[in-house]
Amino acid sequence: MIVIVTGCQGPTFVRGGSPTTMAIPPDVGPPLGEIPTTPRQVVTMRPGPAQLNDVHRLFLESQEGYEPGSGSITAIHPGVGDGPLLVLRWIADTPPMGEASCTAVASLTQAPNGISCSAPVVELGPFTVGGYTHSIGSESQEMMIEHSPDAIAVVIELSDHTSYVLRPGTSSVSLHRWEGNRPVRFTIFWNNDTTTSEILSP
């Protein structure tokens, strides 16, 4: 499995629908001007519970540099067959990285099997993408996009010109897992009628 982590910086970053300096691959198509009306699926994220259960609490306490009290379930994905997916977030302070913001995806009853951390810890301003992870298996795909909470929809476009629409609600994380075609771009639709897009490397 390959995990790609980025802070959404550099020439592929599009802010407010502006053109990018990177050539658009032929399988991507023109930038989205509106949220697709016939996506493969509409996924609605839910807020996490106020308390961690014992499985997730013990997992966080086992992480190097975990700052006690910083852990939370920041969002819940409704699930894709094996029950809901929970997005855990916490702060870790480890040398030489220093203080970092970490995330992981878990089930209701099992600890995560991988984590993603980025440093330094940054508070996102309005209409901002914090970064994303893209995990690729032989057929399995997963994307998690961190953004400020003013997103009304996140659209993941696939290489076959279909898409998934994620509705984050009050969450600052949009997550989805699926089988099949790879993602080629995601676009965030903000509540001020602007968009931010990023083309994904093949």
CA distance 6 to 23: 19
The answer to whether residues 106 and 112 touch, using CB atoms and an 8 Å cutoff, is: yes
| pTM for this prediction | 0.83
- Span 78-89, average pLDDT: 88
DSSP per-residue letters across 47-110: PPPSS--HHHHHHHHTSTTB-TT--EEEEEE--SSS--EEEEEEEEEETTTEEEEEEEEE-SSS
Q: What is the pLDDT of residues 163-197, one digit of tens each?
A: 999 999 989 999 999 998 999 999 999 999 999 99
Q: What is the pLDDT of residue 25?
A: 66
Percent of the chain with pLDDT over 70: 86
pLDDT of 60 > 80? The answer is yes
Query: How many domains does the chain contain in total?
Result: 1
- Residue numbers of the domain that contains 116: 2-199
Place of tokens 């001007």: 33
